A and B are shown apart, each in its own frame.
Chain A
Amino acid sequence: MATANPTMFQASDLNHHNERVQRRYRLLFGLMTLLLITPVMLILGTLVVKGGGAISWEFLLTAPTDGMRTGGVFPALLGTIWLVTVALILSVPIGIFAAIYLSEYAGDNWFTRTINLAIINLAGVPSIVHALFGLGAFVLFFEFGTSILAASLTLAVMTMPVVIVATRESLQAVPQAFREACWNMGATRWQTIRRVVLPNSLTGILTGVILEVSRTAGETAPIMFTGAVFFTPFLPQSVFDQTMALSLHLFVAATQVPGIAEEVPFGVALVLIGLVLTMNSVSIAFRMWLRGKKKW
């Protein structure tokens, strides 16, 4: 019978060293995470402290008066909801369908690779360039004029890559073995996509939509030339009308209006962030519900 070596379970210098190094790395990663959320907290905190006082039902539900100095943001709030909704209606179906084609149908050839490269490049084009494209294409060439339609189309083109990439990634996260099992049973590609692939990639697709909502609501440059105006006394009646928008309103209130109360631009920013979070919370809730259901 072997006698246990008494030093067998004693920590060696090497063990101590490894443990110290591991603790240092954990600290580093934790600090980076803290660093990451600090600006978010500071921004939200500043907005609430400085702009919270401006928020009231009256601020949300009335139009600005006295050259933006008093009154509320209602036309801008409504305009941003219009712009985001129309942009989503235009870009989400096209983006998802294109992503399904690229991920599930297209072969790996130069044509597909070119398309993928183009999508990545589209995501990298500065928003002011999209703005000028939108002005040339939608406002002037298609003669939509400066309108919600032209602005939303511009936003849709700009944010489409977000939806495509997010959708494609989440489709490809579904294990290939699931597809092969389904094909082996005699299912067509579409039957496989509908019954196995799509139900299991919905959460990822929704993440893409959430990202797109945030980006669309906040963009200023693309809508400045294509559909948003500093001030209009009329609320939009259709997609062919001009509209005010929160992001542009914030830019104007913060830089172009002398003698404005300091809390107004902060209040506008707070409303904009609140709107984005509200729109996102719907899909986040849906996503959490889905996540509880599906697993492999």
Chain B
Amino acid sequence: MVSSSAAAVAGDAVAPADPSRSKLEISNLSIRYGNTVALREVNLTVREHEIFGIIGPANAGKTSLLKAINRMDVFTSGMKVAGEIRFNGRDTSKLSNVYALRSRIGVVFPLPVGLPMTVYDNVALSPRLRGISDKAELDVIVQRCLTRAALWDEVKDRLHALGSLLSGGQQQRLTIARALSQEPDLLMLDEFSIAVDPVTTMRIEDVLKELRQEVTILLVTNLVQQARRLADRTAFFLNGECVEVGITEDLFTGEVKDQRTRDYVEGRFG
């Protein structure tokens, strides 16, 4: 029952990439925490198999947006979401099975969260939650996900060491491997490079470029140059408002509609 509704949420996951199709349609989205408005009337569309960047200073509402997409509002007391989010064409606020939605969306947090279990168990957790218990099958998934997250070579000899004791950069790649083990439709990264050294950041960016073939990526970043390196299109958020959405290169070459975007991208504030 879970798997059938998961497939329903996933839509046509096996269909070839169609950039004209939208993965995520967000309309009139507002988010409040009590009386504080975190996001105001945001409209944007994320297309299938693109890397969609979101830039903006702190308190722009970027993280709240990710929380709302993944329906994590139910775990956050006082968080009120208004407006509509359609994922694969389905209104997520009307889903009866939010677990299926969340299992289709991989999330990577600013600070790496290696769960206090072995490296192997970290990556095998999501498949196990889906009911896969066959050892050989899990082995294959774990190796594939760690390899795709560019971590396999470093941990293949200590798969049964604690994931929470890896270095920061390794834990962040472990988090990515864990997200990939969900076989996600959409990968959301929230300022993943904050606690990661530049070399690891570049390795992860290479991983993301390869993943673009298979998943849609929503990349929230505080580094405008990172958005320029990776994102096909980029949105600029400021104080809970989506100021502008455009082709990433346009934002950097001055083809902007709003002066605030130009100021932020050129480093005049934020």
* A residues with CB within 8 A of B: 107-108, 177-178, 180-188, 191, 195-196, 199-200, 294-296
CA distance A196 to B178 in the complex (A): 15
Contact with B125, one of A180, A195, A296 (Cβ below 8 angstroms): A195
Q: How far is the CA of A199 from the CA of B164 in the complex (A)?
A: 14
**Set A184, A188, A296: member contacting B72, Cβ < 8 A:** A184
User: Given A107-B77, A195-B125, A295-B162, is A186 in contact with B115 using a C-beta cutoff of 8 Å?
Assistant: no
Counting from the closest, the 9 A-B pairs by CB-CB distance are A186-B103, A186-B102, A296-B164, A296-B116, A184-B107, A181-B113, A186-B99, A177-B113, A185-B126
Q: Which residues of A contact B116 (CB under 8 A)?
A: 178, 196, 199-200, 294-296
Q: Name B179's closest neighbour in chain A (CB-CB).
A: A185
For the complex, what is the distance from the CA of A108 to the CA of B162, rounded to whole Å?
Answer: 33
Q: Can you list 24 A-B contacts (CB < 8 A)?
A: A177-B111, A178-B115, A180-B75, A181-B107, A181-B115, A181-B178, A182-B115, A184-B70, A184-B72, A184-B107, A185-B107, A185-B182, A186-B99, A186-B100, A186-B102, A186-B129, A187-B129, A195-B125, A196-B115, A199-B116, A200-B116, A294-B162, A295-B116, A296-B162
Q: How large is the interface on B (under 10, 10 to 19, 20 to 34, 35 or more residues)?
A: 20 to 34
B245 CB–A CB distance under 8 Å: no
Q: CA–CA, A120 to B67, complex, Å? A: 35
Q: What is the bound-complex CA distance between A199 and B70, given in angstroms?
A: 26
Kindly report which residue of chain B lies nearest to residue A187, judged by CB atoms. B129
Q: Which residue of B lies closest to A186 (CB)?
A: B103
Whether B126 pairs with A295 at a CB distance below 8 angstroms is no
Determine chain A's interface SS by DSSP, over half rule.
Answer: helix
Instruction: Verify A186–B72 contact, CB threshold 8 A.
Output: no
Known: A195-B125, A295-B164. A185 touches B77 (CB 8 A): no
* B101 interface contact, C-beta 8 A: yes
Contact status B101-A186, CB under 8 Å: yes
A295 to B115, CA, bound (A): 10
CA distance A72 to B211 in the complex (A): 76
Given contacts A186-B99, A186-B100, A295-B116, 11 further A-B contacts (CB under 8 A): A182-B125, A183-B102, A185-B129, A186-B129, A187-B99, A187-B129, A196-B115, A199-B117, A200-B116, A294-B116, A295-B164
Give the residue of A178, A180, A185 whose beta carbon is less than 8 angstroms from that of B178.
Answer: A185
Q: Which of B112-167 contact A (CB under 8 A)?
A: 113-117, 125-126, 129, 162, 164-165
The residues of A that contact B264 with a CB separation of less than 8 Å are none
CB distance from A199 to the nearest CB of B (A): 8
Contacts of A195 in B (CB 8 A): 117, 125
Smallest distance from the beta carbon of A5 to chain B beta carbons, Å?
A: 36
